[in-house]
Structure 1
Amino acid sequence: MSRSMTVSRLALICMALAGCQVGQDFQRPSSSEVQWLPVQGETAASRVEATPVKARWWEVFQDAQLSSLIDRASASNLNVQIAGARLAQSRAARQVVAGEQVPNVGGNLGYQRKRNSGEGLNDPSGHEGKSAFSQWDGGISASWEIDLWGRVRREVEAADATVEVAENDRRAALLALQAEVARDYLQLRGVQNTLSVTRQNLDLSRNSLELSQVRLSSGVATDLDVAEAAAQVAAVESRLPVLEQQQAQLINALGLLLAQTPRALQAELEKPVPMMAVPASVPVGLPSELAERRPDIRRAEARLHAATASIGVAEGDFYPRIVLSGNVGMQALQLSDFGNWGSRQFGIGPQISLPIFEGGRLRGMLHLRQAQEQEAALAYQQTVLRAWQEIDDSMSLYNASQLQQRKLEEAVHQNRIALSTARRQYVEGAVDFLNVLSVQRTLLATQEQWVQSSTTQAQALVGLYASLGGGW
């Protein structure tokens, strides 16, 4: 058999073996299909629909300022930038691992002034260690591990899955940021509307105080009526500083999300706007698409993928490693001889290493990777179940907050009628001033509850979109 045929056959054998791959291929886990469950009890006007979710889901509120804040936060938020830096790190780590798939080639060139021992094995200078000499070295070396069992390929596969984990970490950070900006913004608008309601009630309280003072001067009221009216004014006024502090705190919270200094957004956000109406229908996508949208589910799947590939890496350590290496270069004692044909040197050949006794280290590593895969599989199931629970809770909260707001709106309307009636009856002398104050306190409390329910309703919609994974 000729030498060329032998080399060719060895090459074909290596190529065939290189097609082998230790470990099992990753199979995407199947999650039980769950439909959007109907809300129990009475349903509200705004309902969910199994239609595609828009990527910019916050635009359902039709608030240009909210959209601007989310866009700016997405570009400047530090947590999102940190997640992006971690993603860059995982991609760089993947590049390091992938470098093992290709040959490593290096060159060297060096000079040494040396003196060997006269009692040693040899002295290339021929002076028996009695004088120093120069040595010039240079050449090119190369090495390549033949990935016969697919161990390196499994390492690259695990690294790819780790990159996907980092990508979904960044997606989760971005989705959480967008939801947090929307929640804080809606809470701010709720506080500002509560401030507006409180100031309106303050005007009513002051009018009641003026009315009681006029009636006192006319002899048809008592000092008790005036004192109670003054106390009501002071009680309403006491609410304003707390609400103003909450407004400033929420503006600063939004500024932090946008990587701004305190009070940087105050001029932009201190002007109140009416509460936003929710849409008549809410697109929530298809249940089968949930695993593709929620970053936590995709992240859990990628971690399971990485754990599965790591088992193949651990199994590959049981097999021999074959490294092809070679070098060619020159060595001379005189610089003038460095380029001569006689100064050439080379070496080439395979190196085979086989684990014989490792004290159970390799077996223990394999068991560790298998246990980690089992943990990742259980974590995936838990993530999916938690996702369905969050969605169902969000839908129930959204429906309940709408029903509550509708009832409170009717309560506010009736309390206004009651206050107007009580004030008229007080002027006519049919009721005492305590009835007027009682109805006014009830109106103020109901109005605040209505504003809070409007805020809760809008925030529930934000929570629903966040639980759905946004509109990816």
Structure 2
Amino acid sequence: MNCAAARLSRLAGLSLVALALAGCAVGPDYAASGQLLPASWGNAPKTAKPLDARRLSQWWKTLGDARLNQIVDRAVAGNLDVASAKARIREARATRRQAIGALFPTVDGQGSATRSRSSAATSASGSNITSNLFQAGFDSSFELDLFGGNARGVEAATYGADAADEDLRATLLTLIGDVATNYIEARGAQARASLARRTAASQRETEKLTRNKFTAGSASALDVERAAAQAATTEAAIPTLEAAYAQSLHQLGILTGEAPTALAGILGRGGPIPSARSTPPAGIPADVLVNRPDVRRAERQLAQATAKIGQAEAALYPRVSLTGNISATALKTGDLAKNSAIGWSFGPSLSVPIFNGGELRAAVEVAEAQRDQSDAALRLAVLTALQDVENSLVNLAKERQRAGKLSAAANSFREAARLSRSLYQSGAASFLDVLDAERSLYSAEDTLLQSRVATTSNFVALNKALGGGWDKPVEVELPRVIDVNTGPHLRAAY
């Protein structure tokens, strides 16, 4: 009977080890969920060829603006949102290392030294006795991950680290798009303010001409006042445009992680509105699953939420741990190493959840609900990405058409203004014709500049929607704040 019991005990032990080594797991295994996507874009040329993401990398350089390139580099290096995203990566990686640590045994050392004195009243010898007691030893424990709860924890942490990586890419994509948009708007405001100044100067010349004609008796005082009013109205637009430029300048400074006016030296010298002469390839809708970092981040978060279901599910099953300790107790430190002073214990422990008021089952349901939320978030991210691309394709194409018409209109108004001025000087046209022609010319040229800003901004939006962004390595391991004197030291007085 004893031999049979021993064999049964050994078989049970081997079974536990085999079960642990086999990597038993509970909960659902993650599998990417399918989502029905259109075969082609509705607002782009039909193609069945996937888009190579490398064709979208560093798209801002196609605008041919060296100052924009310089500001983008400064923003990537100094932006505070990027710094936070880097810190989240370090946090996620450290969390993963914590989860991996649960798969290994833990060993703790402990020791004590006690000096005691017994009273004469309690001593058998009737006198005070002073003695020493020294103890030292190690405690260890190892949980057999029979149902994969700890392994699911590592799996979830790994997916979390992947999501943090994608979060950094998404932050860089948004950052570069914001830098480009604000730079374009700053150049647009500068160009519009310059146009207003030139137009106002021309209108003041018209006012001067009208005053001369009034002095000569060939123009009325009403014409003089109308000319002065139109020039003043144009001049009134300049402060608003200068304020718009300053706001874009300040936002660019913040995006680079610097003072609001840090880039005044770069932008203050002026420059043309960047122009996009081509349209980036759109590929096929399925490309957003690969190229959009926000979609990839949502997919990794869904995988993480799925793994957490297994973590919660494992808590419903028994837990087996191996615990042991070795200790030495002696009256003298020199005797701690003697065999007679050493004691040890070793054995398994079993914990079985019997009644917990439904708490553990509710935890599983919480994890499942959170998984469903992540699934919905992923599907929404994909649909939003598709919408972003379609909107950007339409906006870019239609704004280019609009800019073409506005350019033709501006050319016609420019010729009309020249002719009306010439006819007015010769007396063949009324002054109202001149005022109307100049007013229409300024409005057309200003609207054309706004359209150029909108066209390039839509080009930026399309590249963002397609997932184009920063493709160079980014250093994430170096903390932004370097702590010093973190070891044991005297505490500062407060």
- Please say whether Structure 1 and Structure 2 have the same fold, judged by a TM-score greater than 0.5: yes
1:179 aligns to 2:202 (yes or no) = no
Aligned match of 1:301: 299
Counterpart of 1:348, as a letter, is F
Aligned match of 2:483: none
Q: Deviations over 1:95-149 (max 9, x none)?
A: 1111000111222222123468999xxx9x9889975532211122221111111
Counterpart of 1:10, as a letter, is G
- How far residue 458 of structure 1 moved from its aligned partner, in angstroms, is 0.5
Q: Give the gaps of 5 or more residues in structure 1.
A: none
Distance 1:115 1:399 in 2: 94
1:415 aligns to 2:413 (yes or no) = yes
Q: Deviations over 1:136-176 (max 9, x none)?
A: 11122221111111111011111111222222222221111
- How far residue 243 of structure 1 moved from its aligned partner, in angstroms, is 1.4
Aligned match of 1:75: 77
Query: For the Cα contact (< 8 Å) 1:50–1:283, is it kept in 2?
Result: no
Change (3 A) 1:170 1:441: same
Query: For the Cα contact (< 8 Å) 1:107–1:141, is it kept in 2?
Result: yes
6-15 or 57-66: bigger deviation? 6-15
Query: For the Cα contact (< 8 Å) 1:83–1:169, is it kept in 2?
Result: yes
Normalising by structure 1, report the TM-score. Answer: 0.91
Distance 1:440 1:325 in 2: 92
Q: What is the correspondence of 1:187-226 to structure 2 with a 5 Å cutoff?
A: 187-226=185-224
Change (3 A) 1:364 1:430: same
Q: Give the gaps of 5 or more residues in structure 2.
A: 472-494
Distance 1:300 1:417 in 2: 56
Q: What is the correspondence of 1:163-312 to structure 2 with a 5 Å cutoff?
A: 163-312=161-310
Distance 1:90 1:113 in 2: 47
1:22 aligns to 2:31 (yes or no) = no
Query: For the Cα contact (< 8 Å) 2:279–2:459, is it kept in 1?
Result: no
Task: Report SS of the residue matched to 1:106.
Answer: strand
Query: For the Cα contact (< 8 Å) 2:252–2:260, is it kept in 1?
Result: no
Query: For the Cα contact (< 8 Å) 1:18–1:149, is it kept in 2?
Result: no
Q: Deviations over 1:350-378 (max 9, x none)?
A: 11111111111111111111122122212
Aligned match of 1:32: 36
Aligned match of 2:66: 64
Distance 2:249 2:197 in 1: 20
Task: Report SS of the residue matched to 1:348.
Answer: strand
- How far residue 301 of structure 1 moved from its aligned partner, in angstroms, is 1.0
Query: For the Cα contact (< 8 Å) 1:18–1:146, is it kept in 2?
Result: no
Change (3 A) 1:381 1:51: closer
Task: Report SS of the residue matched to 1:283.
Answer: coil
Match of 2:13 among 10, 14, 36: 10
1:396 aligns to 2:394 (yes or no) = yes
Q: Deviations over 1:46-65 (max 9, x none)?
A: x9x96433311111211111
279-288 or 351-360: bigger deviation? 279-288
240-249 or 397-406: bigger deviation? 240-249
Query: For the Cα contact (< 8 Å) 1:113–1:134, is it kept in 2?
Result: yes
Distance 2:238 2:127 in 1: 95
Identity rate, percent: 32
Task: Report SS of the residue matched to 1:108.
Answer: strand
Distance 1:467 1:259 in 2: 25
Change (3 A) 1:419 1:137: same
Change (3 A) 1:35 1:439: farther
RMSD: 2.7
Task: Report SS of the residue matched to 1:113.
Answer: strand
Change (3 A) 1:358 1:126: farther
Distance 1:129 1:79 in 2: 74
Q: What is the correspondence of 1:417-436 to structure 2 with a 5 Å cutoff?
A: 417-436=415-434
